[in-house]
Amino acid sequence: MSFTYQYAHPAVTVDAVVFGFDESDLKVLLVQRAGEPHRGSWALPGGFVEMTEDLETAARRELAEETGLSRLFLEQLYTFGAPERDPRERVISVAYYALVKLMDHAVRAASDAKEVAWFPVADLPDLAFDHEEIVNMALKRLKGKIRYEPIGFELLPEKFPLSELQRLYETVLEQPLDKRNFRKKIQGMGLLQDTHEIQQDVAHRAARLYRFDQAAYQALRKRGFNFEL
Amino acid sequence: MSFTYQYAHPAVTVDAVVFGFDESDLKVLLVQRAGEPHRGSWALPGGFVEMTEDLETAARRELAEETGLSRLFLEQLYTFGAPERDPRERVISVAYYALVKLMDHAVRAASDAKEVAWFPVADLPDLAFDHEEIVNMALKRLKGKIRYEPIGFELLPEKFPLSELQRLYETVLEQPLDKRNFRKKIQGMGLLQDTHEIQQDVAHRAARLYRFDQAAYQALRKRGFNFEL
DNA sequence: GCAAAAGTGTTTCGGATACACCCATGC
DNA sequence: GCATGGGTGTATCCGAAACACTTTTGC
């Protein structure tokens, strides 16, 4: 089977930069390429867009297929289309970035035996194609957006102590934050619900666990509230 | 001549939302479609991406061809790819937004006799395809970005009075600003160069004309300065 | 009892806001 | 002389920043 057009058409792919956070650092999910070009190199999960599916749908499908991830926060990042970015043919890639709660989602390699693994953003391997550029743009976007939209919670487990939220912000923004000011500000927003639970199995005083209150956020937003940290 | 692929490929276009500002309001440049579908409707300037050109290059080329505009501020906005957005075939459009100094650039219709015209954003005609959605996203982007990057100057003539800058901000942000506070803040940034010229031919006291000092901005930015209004 | 992290208030400072009048010019 | 927009300064307020000690728990 083949497809013929009067004019040349590029191929269109979607690629996703999936971020995760564990106590110590920010990580990106990469897959090892099974085919040429760049066989064996690490790359962003992604693949070709089907003719009948939406771009975001394509990104979610590829993520599910290649990494087993679903139901995650996903947002379009930028479209990369330098003529020679793929040596095979002209390929335009619509890049997305995603945020996942690391604890909730064990990743599994796709059936076709490609490896899937998390890498700290501070220490990424060489990446295929222009994927390093894509990751850098995703990092910049995350860094910018986490300050004025409450997307950081997408990277934390449902229930979390304030110190973990602070560590996340410090990691992403790459700057230390004052503990008392941080707590005052975030608690003052009224977006955190006290679960009345505390940490288990910690070797020191256990912290209270909070939950992001999505309903309260939506209600506040309707009244003109703007998240900002 | 024709092109054949093993898998289906979508067509890829670029479309541009070009903003201009004249004393009274914010405008968007539209072209009247010469061909089907939507013949005669107003639409964003744009067209198919050539196989050997960059996406941004394609956007600039289409703008030059269809409207005569060149050398303008241009930035990628978002990629639209709903399967049915174009009735002919699957078309994925990489949208850009652009800012031009209205005075400096007289637009001219392309050779193939399509009409080109400026429309106030507050009063746009019905647009072809999903172009209304694209314009709305561009407006949102402009509104957000003008506050923390000095892109507003791209919409003004090289030399402008402070009142015109303020009117621009009030128009884009859709909110009135206090004259004294506005002047204090913008002048305090050290980004405006006094040209020592004044307005000509005005029926009242003539205002001083300023120029955006690009060099000063770059220097400040290196030292960690962030524009914000 | 000590290590490790949780939790908590007050003072200070700077930028944002609010606000009203005189000035220059053309007609 | 009047209409039109240009240009200017100060007081108040509020949120941001700076800052150190006590509490709880497991070992």
Quote the pLDDT of residue A213.
97
Q: Are A39 and A157 in contact (CB under 8 A)?
A: no
Q: Which CATH architecture has domain A157-222?
A: Orthogonal Bundle (1.10)
Separation between the CA of A207 and the C1’ of C4 (whole angstroms): 12
Q: Name the nt closest to B207 by C-alpha to C1'.
A: D6
Separation between the CA of A188 and the C1’ of D14 (whole angstroms): 15
What is the average pLDDT across A54-81?
97
Q: Rounded to whole angstroms, how far apart are CA atoms B184 and B196?
A: 19
Nearest to A63 by CA among A50, A72, A75, A51: A72
Residues sharing a CB contact under 8 Å with residue A40, sequence separation 6 or more, in sequence order: A32, A33
* Residue A115 falls in the annotated catalytic set: yes
Residues with CB under 7 A from strand D: A 178-181, 185, 202-206, 228; B 161-163, 179-181, 183-184, 198, 203-208
What is the average pLDDT across A151-158?
97
Question: Which of B3, B5, B9, B57 is best to mutate for the A interface (most A CBs within 10 A)?
Answer: B9
Distance of CA B108 to the CA centre of its chain: 17
Residue B4 DSSP symbol:
E
Residues of B with CB under 8 A from a CB of A: 1-12, 48-49, 51-55, 76, 78-79, 81-83, 90, 92, 94
Question: Given this chain, do its domains B11-147 and B156-222 carry the same CATH topology?
Answer: no
Model confidence pLDDT, tens digit, residues B182-211: 999 999 999 999 999 999 988 899 999 999
Model confidence pLDDT, tens digit, residues A204-228: 999 999 999 999 999 999 998 999 9
Domain parsing of chain B, residue ranges = 11-147, 156-222
Q: Which CATH architecture has domain B156-222?
A: Orthogonal Bundle (1.10)
Provide DSSP, B120-176: EGGGPPPBSTTHHHHHHHHHHHHHHHHHHSS-GGGGS-SSB-HHHHHHHHHHHHTS-
Quote the pLDDT of residue A109.
65
Q: What is the helix, strand, coil percentage profile of chain A, to 5?
A: 30, 30, 45
Task: Give A102's pLDDT tier (boundaries 50, 70, 90).
Answer: confident
Q: Rounded to whole angstroms, how far apart are CA atoms B26 and B154?
A: 13
Residue B20 φ/ψ region, left for φ over 0, alpha for ψ in the -120 to 50 degree band, beta for the rest: beta
- The per-residue pLDDT string of chain B (229 residues; one tens digit each, 9 = 90 and over) reads 899 999 999 999 999 999 999 988 999 999 999 888 999 999 999 999 999 999 999 999 999 999 999 999 999 999 999 999 999 999 999 999 999 998 766 777 665 557 999 999 999 999 999 999 999 999 999 999 999 999 999 999 999 999 999 999 999 999 999 999 999 999 999 999 999 999 998 889 999 999 999 999 999 999 989 999 9
Rounded to the nearest angstrom, the minimum Cα separation between A16 and chain B is 15
Superfamily of domain B11-147: Nucleoside Triphosphate Pyrophosphohydrolase (3.90.79.10)
Alpha helices, H only, A77-207: 131-145, 162-173, 179-188
Separation between the CA of A164 and the C1’ of D7 (whole angstroms): 52
Nearest to B67 by CA among B20, B108, B25: B108
Whether A88 CB is under 7 Å from strand C: no
Integer-rounded Cα radius of gyration of chain B? 20
Nearest to A83 by CA among A73, A74, A93, A95: A93
Q: Name the nt closest to B177 by C-alpha to C1'.
A: C17
Joined together, the tokens standing for residue B96 give 């850009």
Put simply, the answer to whether B49 touches A81 (Cβ < 8 Å) is yes
Q: Which CATH architecture has domain A11-145?
A: Alpha-Beta Complex (3.90)
Quote the pLDDT of residue A23.
81
Joined together, the tokens standing for residue A21 give 């956070």
Specify the long-range contacts of residues A196-202, CB closer than 8 Å, at least 24 apart: A197/A159, A199/A161
> Which SS3 state, helix, strand or coil, does residue A78 take?
strand
